[in-house]
Amino acid sequence: MKTTIKTKRIMTPRFVRLLAVPPAIALWLGACATPPKPAALSTYEALQHDRNLEETRRRFPDLVASAEQFGQKADQEWQSNNLDDSTKAALMAEIKLRTALARNDQARAKARLEVLTTEQARADDDLGDAKKDLESTTEQVRLIEQADQDKKKLTQQIATEQDERQRLTQQLALEQKHAGAQLALRTAETVDAPRYAPSDYTAATAMMAKAEGEIKQGAVGLALTSLEVARTRAEKSIEIAKPLYEQAAQATQNKMRDETLARDAAALPAVAVRLERRGELQRLVIAIPNLFVKSQTTLPPDKESSLEPIARLIVKYPSYPVQVVGHTDNRGKVGELIALSQSRAQAVFSALVVKGVEARRLMVSGQGPNEPIADNKIAAGRAKNARVEVIFLYH
């Protein structure tokens, strides 16, 4: 063994041994140099750059001072190459400093909370005020809108009422027109317009039917026009028919009166009654024979009283003009006979006036022998011809 070692020493060159010197020196120097900084110490040192450190120091000086003491110890131990102790001290330093920073954070948060509380209270007040204002304004707007709606509703109601009034007015006008047209039609019928004014009456009736159809359809304007036309045509038919109708009615009435007069006259005693026509004129002739004694012009008293029924008849029918005409037979001169007949008519006239007949209704004349009604050759004929006639003149 010793031999081998010796051989090795012999075989080791000197330069090789010289090469081992620098690493050995380096190792020696390395052993004497500062060791790597522990991670905990680096962490602590990093914490010292925290932006809140100064504020934290002001608030928690003891805690920060304690951390710094640990930090200094950690640094010293590191400088002394006691890495384990350095780490332990650095950890404590870190814990203390972070605790201080955390408490500072709490203090900051607390301060911020106080500010926030104040701001929140103010904001709540502002919000409350704004909500109140909004509520108030909204209520005002609601009221205005309500008022506007009420106004619109009222306006609409007024318009509706106006429409209704207008409708009623139209309805009333329509009914009035309708009634007017109907009245005109009825009036036309009363004057027998279908007979006397058939074209206008038919047109009015047709227009009335048309108007009633238009009323059913609600075409008020058209109906009004149609009713107006119907009324106009009906009135025109009345205008045409009325005189004709009245004329006819008058004729009928006259005829009836004439017939009554004739019946009443026929009932008179001791007179001869006849109807005769002279041209357009019709007349009722009451011939009273034997009133006068021969050639006399004075009525004997008994004969005068026989005129009483005739006088009543004349009074009863006041609308008839009456002629009192004297007649004679043909014995004598014509002139004398006419004078005689006129005097006798005058005597009858006077007697009738005395009995109540209006003198102005009576016309007196004497025809003499000019209008014989029987044969003058025989006595009975001459007796008939010597007469006084009371003549009712028909219209």
Partner 1 sequence: MIRRGRPTSFVLWQVTLSTLAILVLSFALRATPALADEEDDIQRQVDTQKAGVPDLEHLDTQHAARADIQRLRQWLGEAWDLRNKHDPDGAREVLDRSLSQAELIRQIIAASQAKAEVAAREAKLQKTKLSIEQTKQALRDTQAKKKSLEPVLGS
- Residue placing its CB nearer to partner 1 in the complex, 87 or 385: 87
Q: How far is the CB of 37 from partner 1 (least distance, A)?
A: 19
Burial class of residue 172 in the structure, from the number of CB atoms within 10 Å of its CB (0-12 exposed, 13-18 middle, 19+ buried): exposed
Non-local (6+) Cβ contacts of 152 within 8 A are none
Task: Name which of residues 90 to 149 contact partner 1 (CB under 8 A).
Answer: 91-92, 95-96, 98-99, 102-103, 105-106, 109-110, 112-113, 116-117, 119-120, 123-124, 126-127, 130-131, 133-134, 137-138, 140-141, 144-145, 147-148
Is the separation of the CB atoms in 357 and 317 below 8 Å?
no
Task: Name which of residues 76 to 95 contact partner 1 (CB under 8 A).
Answer: 88, 91-92, 95
Q: How far is the CB of 4 from partner 1 (least distance, A)?
A: 23
Counting residues that bind partner 1 (by CB under 8 A) gives 36
Question: For 191-292, where are the alpha helices, taking DSSP H only?
Answer: 193-196, 198-217, 220-266
- Residue placing its CB nearer to partner 1 in the complex, 123 or 251: 123
- CA–CA gap between residue 200 and residue 301 (Å, rounded): 64
- Residue placing its CB nearer to partner 1 in the complex, 113 or 354: 113
Check residue 46 for interaction with partner 1 (CB under 8 A): no
- CA–CA gap between residue 285 and residue 112 (Å, rounded): 145
Q: How far is the CB of 169 from partner 1 (least distance, A)?
A: 29
- CA–CA gap between residue 249 and residue 255 (Å, rounded): 10
Q: How far is the CB of 69 from partner 1 (least distance, A)?
A: 13
- Residue placing its CB nearer to partner 1 in the complex, 104 or 323: 104
Q: Which residues pair with 387 in a beta bridge?
A: 289
- CA–CA gap between residue 33 and residue 25 (Å, rounded): 12
For helices 220-266 and 198-217, angle between their N-to-C axes, nearest 10 degrees: 140
How far is residue 61 CA from its own chain's centroid?
Answer: 93
Is the separation of the CB atoms in 344 and 297 below 8 Å?
yes
- Residue placing its CB nearer to partner 1 in the complex, 41 or 191: 41
Instruction: State the pairing for strand pair 281-289/387-393.
Output: antiparallel
- Residue placing its CB nearer to partner 1 in the complex, 92 or 314: 92
- Residue placing its CB nearer to partner 1 in the complex, 137 or 298: 137
Binding site for partner 1 (CB under 8 A): 88, 91-92, 95-96, 98-99, 102-103, 105-106, 109-110, 112-113, 116-117, 119-120, 123-124, 126-127, 130-131, 133-134, 137-138, 140-141, 144-145, 147-148, 151
